[in-house]
C-alpha cells in the first residue's frame, strides 16, 4: 500500500515552491510588511500568500495565470479555532454549563468577531480579492475578512505547529473571552432570577438605578431589583451590567434561602 502521507507532503512541498516562484518582489515586500507590522513570523511566504488570496481574485485572473486561493484553508482554520477556544473555555470556566460555554464560543467565532480580528491585524490592506467583491459592499468585505482570518489560522498552523497557533489564538482572544464570559454569566443570573420570579410571583424583575456617583469616565451605579413591590437585593458597580449582575446574584441567593 502506498504511503499516502509521504506522497501528500511531497506534493505539498512542490505546490508551495510553485507559489513562491510566482510571487513578485513587490508582493514579497507587502507580505513581509504585514509580518513586521503584526510581529508575526512565517517561514513560508507561500502559505501566507495563499491565506490572503480570496477565490474571487483567483477566479478573475484564472485565464491569465493559475492562481491559488484560500477556500480550502478556511475549513481547517475554522476547526482549529473552534477547538482551541472550546478547550480554553472548558478549563477556564469549570462552573459553566455546556449551554453557556456554547453561547460564549458562538460569539467568539462569529463573523463579526473574526472580521474584527482581521481588521485589528490590518489584514484588509493585504488581501487579494476580485473587483466584483468591492461592488457588493460592507457585508461582502466582512465575509472576506472572516474567511481570511480562518485561512490565516490554518496557514499559521501549517507553517509552525499546534502549540504556536494555540498561543496566538489565546493571546488575541483572551480579553474578549473574559468579557464575553462575564456578559453571558450576567445574562444567566438575570435569566435565572426572571425564571424564579415569574414562577413564584408571576412577575419579571424590575431593576431601578437608585443613584450614580463619580465622574463620567468612572461612574458608579447603585441599583436595586424588585419583584413588583417586593424588594429583592441591591448591588453596585462601575457599569449598569455589573451592578445588575450583583443584584441578580444576591436576589437568587435570598430567594433560595427563603425556599429552604
Respond yes or no: is residue 195 known to be catalytic.
Answer: no
How many angstroms from the chain centroid is the CA of residue 103?
Answer: 12
CA–CA gap between residue 187 and residue 253 (Å, rounded): 16
The sheet carrying 230-237 orders its strands as 206-213, 220-227, 230-237
- To the query of whether residue 150 is one of the catalytic residues in this protein, the response is yes
Catalytic residue among 49, 133, 150, 159: 150
- Catalytic residue, chosen from 78, 146, 159, 244, is 78
Task: Return the closest-CA partner of residue 154 out of 48, 259, 6, 258.
Answer: 48
Q: Which three cell numbers stand for residue 177?
A: 473571552
DSSP letters, 36-100, are HHHT---S-HHHHHHHTB-HHHHHHHTTTS----SHHHHHHHHHHHHHHHHHHHHHH-TTS-HHH
The three-state secondary structure class of 210 is strand
What are the residue numbers of the active site?
78, 150
Amino acid at each position: 500500500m502506498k504511503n499516502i502521507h509521504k506522497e501528500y507532503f511531497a506534493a505539498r512541498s512542490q505546490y508551495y515552491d510553485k507559489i513562491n516562484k510566482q510571487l513578485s518582489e513587490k508582493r514579497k515586500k507587502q507580505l513581509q510588511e504585514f509580518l513586521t507590522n503584526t510581529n508575526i513570523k512565517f517561514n513560508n511566504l507561500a502559505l501566507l500568500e495563499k491565506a490572503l488570496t480570496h477565490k474571487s481574485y483567483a477566479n478573475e485572473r484564472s485565464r491569465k495565470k493559475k492562481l491559488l486561493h484560500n477556500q480550502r484553508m478556511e475549513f481547517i482554520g475554522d476547526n482549529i479555532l473552534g477547538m482551541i477556544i472550546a478547550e480554553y473555555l472548558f478549563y477556564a470556566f469549570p462552573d459553566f454549563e455546556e449551554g453557556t460555554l456554547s453561547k460564549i464560543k458562538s460569539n467568539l467565532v462569529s463573523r463579526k468577531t473574526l472580521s474584527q480580528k482581521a481588521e485589528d491585524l490590518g489584514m484588509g490592506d493585504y488581501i487579494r480579492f476580485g473587483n466584483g467583491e468591492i461592488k457588493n459592499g460592507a457585508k461582502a468585505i466582512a465575509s472576506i475578512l472572516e474567511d481570511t482570518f480562518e485561512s490565516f489560522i490554518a496557514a499559521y498552523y501549517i507553517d509552525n505547529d499546534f502549540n504556536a497557533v494555540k498561543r496566538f489564538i489565546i493571546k488575541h482572544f483572551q480579553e474578549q473571552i473574559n468579557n464575553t464570559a462575564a456578559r453571558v454569566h450576567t445574562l444567566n443570573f438575570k435569566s435565572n432570577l426572571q425564571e424564579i420570579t415569574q414562577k413564584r410571583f408571576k412577575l419579571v424583575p424590575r431593576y431601578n438605578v437608585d443613584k450614580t456617583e463619580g465622574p463620567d469616565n468612572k461612574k458608579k451605579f447603585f441599583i436595586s431589583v424588585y419583584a413588583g413591590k417586593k424588594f429583592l437585593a441591591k448591588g453596585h458597580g462601575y457599569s449598569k451590567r455589573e451592578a445588575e449582575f450583583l443584584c441578580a446574584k444576591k436576589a437568587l441567593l435570598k430567594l433560595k434561602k427563603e425556599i429552604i
